[in-house]
Amino acid sequence: MTTQIIRHDWTAEEVQALFDLPFNDLIFEAQTIHRKFFNPNEVQMCQLLSIKTGGCPEDCGYCSQSAFAESDLGASKLMAVEEVLSEARKAKEGGATRYCMGAAWRSPKDRDMENLKAMISGVRDMGMETCATLGMLTEEQAKELADAGLDYYNHNIDTSEEFYGEIITTRTFQDRLDTLDVVRDSGMKVCCGGIIGMGEKILDRAEMLRTLANLATHPDSIPINQLIAIPGTKLENVNLPHSIDFVRCIAVARIMMPRSTVRLSAGREEMSDEMQALCFFAGANSIFVGDELLTTDNPGRDKDAALMSKLGIEALAAFEEPALDKEPTNSRPPTPLHEKRA
């Protein structure tokens, strides 16, 4: 069986070697590691609500909520607290154990903090894990959200530092890393991943994962999104990656960050059951449920329930720790499979 330690010193060559492995060897490596830390037949069910939609001043090329996008999506105000909590109750009744709230902001304004904190504490009182994605945070804002009971904060790096400027120009790559530091220092858990299929090279995918894996602490959750090519956005005509290439990203993320939850996120509406099954086999153990993901379609509950039943996968309970919660004690990184065959 493959041995593995938690590492923060991955080289570009090592990550590229993982991407270059024969597919069967890569998936076997990822599934072996996955079973050391998680029950392979449990998946976390999350639900995401857009609590403030449209009008974002950022120019992210993939997002219809950007003020730069030529989409029909209008800007809305922040939802009322009770409206958000009502939706959270429905999510819990539908099986969600983590509730995520997203706002199309560059960063939250101080005047919105009290309502945000009321939403967070209200969802937490329902017995669900809480997550929010609100843009960049100051140290004071992060502390306030943490004190209100926010468990996770999502702030994706999206892609490699080199390719980042092709997608976003209104916020730097370092800005994103700085927000991750603020979140971690506040005591909240970090949710951070990226998007596959924006026209990036395989090297960019490898560098994105290497950036995350070489952080002082691995992100607790890693959402891997497949681009949804939304009409009116800069990336509306980009060709999606082959499903096998997407699954490779899931597997490499699992190998490099063994204790993190790897979330199969946006783009599932376009994925076949077989592709999703391969993603779970490669180490994905979290999904977003519900008919909508912010402003895009997501598989409905009935469709997801049918797939989980076929695969024998059950929902992970809220606040449940990984099935195997012991740090491996070996002192050497695993030998890449292609070297073992030599």
**Is 191 labelled a binding residue?**
yes
Instruction: Yes or no: say if 52 and 162 are a contact pair by the CB < 8 Å rule.
Output: no
Distances (CA, A) of 115 to 26, 97, 251: 46, 22, 39
Pairing of strands 292-293, 296-297: antiparallel
**Is 279 labelled a binding residue?**
no
Which position has the token pair 């939403």?
119
Closest to 32 (Cα-Cα) out of 242, 287, 341, 283: 283
Q: Is 249 a catalytic residue?
A: no
Q: Is 46 a catalytic residue?
A: no
Question: 111: burial class by Cβ within 10 Å (0-12, 13-18, 19+)?
Answer: exposed
Residue 51: CB atoms within 10 A of its CB come to 27
Q: Is 191 a catalytic residue?
A: yes
Spot the catalytic one: 63, 192, 249, 279.
Answer: 63
In angstroms, rounded to a whole number, what is the distance separating the alpha carbons of residues 249 and 199?
15
Q: Is 192 a catalytic residue?
A: no
Distances (CA, A) of 277 to 124, 250, 273: 31, 12, 6
Spot the catalytic one: 98, 210, 263, 268.
Answer: 263
Q: Is 259 a catalytic residue?
A: no
Identify residue 117 by its one-letter amino acid code. Answer: K
In angstroms, rounded to a whole number, what is the distance separating the alpha carbons of residues 153 and 292?
20
3-state secondary structure of 6: coil
Q: Is 63 a catalytic residue?
A: yes
Count of alpha carbons within 13 angstroms of residue 304, beta-carbon side: 24
Spot the catalytic one: 7, 35, 46, 56.
Answer: 56
Residue 82: CB atoms within 10 A of its CB come to 11
Q: Is 279 a catalytic residue?
A: no
In angstroms, rounded to a whole number, what is the distance separating the alpha carbons of residues 280 and 39?
11
Spot the catalytic one: 98, 171, 184, 191.
Answer: 191
Spot the catalytic one: 46, 98, 131, 176.
Answer: 131
In angstroms, rounded to a whole number, what is the distance separating the alpha carbons of residues 250 and 43?
14
Residue numbers belonging to the annotated binding site for [2Fe-2S] cluster: 100, 131, 191, 263
* Binding-site entries: 56, 60, 63, 100, 131, 191, 263
Residues annotated as catalytic are 56, 60, 63, 100, 131, 191, 263
| Binding site listing for [4Fe-4S] cluster | 56, 60, 63
